[in-house]
């Protein structure tokens, strides 16, 4: 791929779709709300870390996210229904408008990322779940732990326990029990699929919503934005030696930012992203797509006029 390819990316969209009633721009996705309780979710090439959108988009990232999500959503429909009706093109999905629960169901099979940073600082509880003493980064938990987080529209998500969720009325007790059941089943399926590809699903998050009294899995699943993967080969040896695990996730983006003095804290300035780093991030996303799906990534150049046209046609077929 040429430098030109890597520098061209979708920062945002401004479509006018049939039956459009409102629009929301999230950290990564542009969401078009339509009549008849439908929505179009379009994965831009924006990238976020520490709950902040980075100043430059990453070419092909949206395509990777959308196609990885499709791969796993279609492989888990037997566990829980999901929101998607159709995929108009490589970076968009048309589906049911659900009322989202205001929490994210985070599940962790290994001590890594945010949980490791909390553990390293001496904490042994996260979202009401206990982390055993004597662990080191990358160790597996005796059993995967569910560590929910509030879903913040702005700023940082916050850890929250099952008891707090129910006490605050965010999710009724019987529905929360279902969310936990779905979360564990989805994580088990994702772990099995990862294992077949020589990967370890370290941790991930799921989002759920309701429509007509029915719970749906919403948003993406098992993507590099929502999940962390280790390479299986050499995992045990690296743990024994106390070496960092080789991973496929966007954690390396967070690490690069931390090395350049940024963790999203007040007063910190986002560093400039050089071309070489932007290209590296794009390559890493493509690598993860091919590694996790076993499919060759076929890059589709961004063409927003074409995307808008095919999305409009898809909407007409389902309205």
Do 92 and 166 form a contact (C-beta atoms < 8 A)?
Answer: no
Handedness of CA 164, 167, 171, 176 (dihedral sign): positive
Residue 155 has a pLDDT of 53
CA distance 58 to 28: 11
CA distance 5 to 97: 34
Residue 284 has a pLDDT of 86
What CATH number was assigned to the domain covering residues 100-248?
3.30.470.20
Handedness of CA 291, 292, 294, 296 (dihedral sign): negative
Instruction: Evaluate whether 3-98+284-318 and 100-248 have a shared fold.
Output: no
207, β-bridge pairs:
218
Q: What is the mean pLDDT of each run of 10 residues along the chain (319 residues)?
A: 56 96 94 96 93 92 94 97 96 96 97 96 97 97 97 73 97 98 98 96 97 94 88 96 87 90 91 93 89 93 94 90
Structure tokens at 55: 């100043």
Taking the model in full, what pTM does it have? 0.86
Do 291 and 297 form a contact (C-beta atoms < 8 A)?
Answer: no
Tokens 């929301």 -> residue: 24
- Domain segments of the chain: what residues? 3-98+284-318, 100-248
Do 76 and 189 form a contact (C-beta atoms < 8 A)?
Answer: yes
φ, ψ for residue 119 (rounded to 5)? -65, -45
Residue 156 has a pLDDT of 61
H helices of the chain, in order, are 3-7, 61-75, 113-120, 162-167, 173-196, 235-241, 251-259, 275-293, 304-318
CA distance 187 to 61: 23
Topology of domain 3-98+284-318 in CATH is Phosphorylase Kinase; domain 1 (3.30.200)
């Amino acid at each position: 791929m040429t430098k030109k390819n890597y520098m061209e990316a979708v920062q945002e969209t401004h479509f006018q779709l049939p039956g459009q009633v409102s629009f929301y721009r999230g950290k990564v996705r542009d969401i078009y709300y339509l009549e008849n309780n439908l929505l179009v979710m379009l994965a831009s090439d924006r990238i976020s870390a520490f709950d902040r959108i980075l100043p430059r988009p990453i070419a092909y990232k949206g395509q990777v996210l959308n196609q990885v999500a499709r791969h796993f959503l279609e492989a888990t429909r037997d566990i829980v229904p999901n929101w998607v009706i159709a995929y108009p093109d490589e970076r968009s999905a048309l589906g049911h408008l659900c009322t989202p629960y205001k929490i994210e169901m985070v599940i962790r099979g290994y001590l890594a990322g945010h949980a490791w940073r909390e553990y390293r600082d001496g904490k042994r509880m996260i979202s009401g779940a206990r982390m055993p003493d004597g662990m080191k980064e990358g160790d597996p938990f005796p059993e995967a732990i569910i560590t929910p987080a509030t879903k913040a529209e702005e700023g940082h998500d916050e850890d929250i326990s099952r008891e707090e969720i129910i006490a605050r009325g965010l999710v009724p007790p019987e529905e929360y029990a279902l969310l936990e059941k779905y979360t564990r089943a989805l994580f088990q399926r994702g772990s099995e699929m990862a294992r077949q590809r020589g990967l370890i699903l370290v941790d991930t998050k799921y989002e759920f919503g309701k429509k007509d009294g029915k719970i749906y899995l919403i948003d993406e699943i098992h993507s590099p934005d929502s999940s962390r993967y280790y390479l299986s080969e050499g995992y045990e040896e690296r743990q024994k030696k106390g070496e960092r695990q080789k991973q496929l996730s966007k954690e390396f983006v967070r690490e690069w930012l931390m090395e350049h003095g940024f963790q999203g804290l007040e007063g910190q300035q986002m560093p400039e992203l050089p071309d070489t780093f932007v290209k590296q991030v794009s390559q890493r996303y493509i690598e993860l797509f091919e590694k996790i799906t076993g499919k060759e990534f076929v890059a589709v150049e961004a063409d927003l006029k074409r995307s808008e046209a095919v999305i409009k046609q898809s909407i007409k077929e389902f309205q």
